Homo-oligomer: A and B are copies of this chain.
Amino acid sequence: MKNTRGEIIRIADDLIRTRGYNAFSYTDISKQLNIKNAAVHYYFPAKSDLGTEVIRFRISDFHQRVQSWDTLPYDQQLVNWITYHQHKKENKCVCILGALAPVYDTLQENMQTELGRFSNIILEWLIDILAKGKQSGIFNYKESPRAKAYLVQSSLLAALLLNKVLDDDVFQAIQNSILMQ
């Protein structure tokens, strides 16, 4: 009944988001599972194979999540997306985009491609609800939906990063600014 492959992805996701892609090894994962690092290579021959799967896991999680919000008002969907990020605050881990974007140039091509895909998926979704919400009068920001989406996603991503370095609660302030419009 155990799912080693799934566990590996979950642990790798956590390690990438707390310590960074270039700061974890297969041994870090195998220790947590009480197996040898060769066993991890059985599932993911190369580290970039694992990295790619972690991003795909995040994409799939994203799809599931926003789909479950499908019938909610647009402003509530935006609040949910903000709150989803806040949940990561306790252990101070960042989102996969914030973890991988700074080392983009060091990543294998398959990881770069998948990361680009994920960014576009998130932004297209954000642009969509921001545009529809503006049409329906729920939102009244002044920029284009695309510019607003960039601002929202940038703020959320960086709030998690700054939270690691600063003592203050950056997230709360950012959240208010976004919703204030």
Question: A residues near B, CB below 8 A?
Answer: 18-20, 22-23, 92, 94, 97-99, 101-106, 115-116, 119-120, 123, 142-144, 146-148, 150-151, 153-155, 157-159, 161-162, 164-168, 170, 173-174, 176-178, 180
Beyond A151-B174, A158-B157, whether A166 also contacts B23 by CB under 8 A is no
Please tell me how many copies of the chain the complex holds. 2
Main secondary structure of the interface of A (DSSP, over half): helix
A151-B165 CB under 8 A given contacts A106-B19, A106-B20: no
Which 3 pairs from chain A and chain B are nearest by CB?
Answer: A154-B158, A147-B173, A101-B161
Are A154 and B170 within 8 A (Cβ)?
yes
Query: Contact between B155 and A151 (Cβ–Cβ < 8 Å)?
Result: yes
Q: Check if B173 sits within 8 Å of A119, measured CB to CB.
A: no
CB distance from A41 to the nearest CB of B (A): 21
How long is the Cα–Cα vector from A78 to B101 in the complex, in angstroms?
26
Contact status of A164 and B104, CB under 8 A, knowing A143-B177, A151-B155:
yes
Q: Please determine whether B166 and A116 come into contact, CB atoms closer than 8 angstroms.
A: yes
Selected A-B contacts with CB under 8 Å, 15 pairs: A19-B105, A20-B106, A22-B23, A94-B101, A98-B102, A101-B164, A101-B165, A102-B161, A102-B164, A104-B164, A123-B166, A142-B180, A143-B176, A147-B173, A147-B176
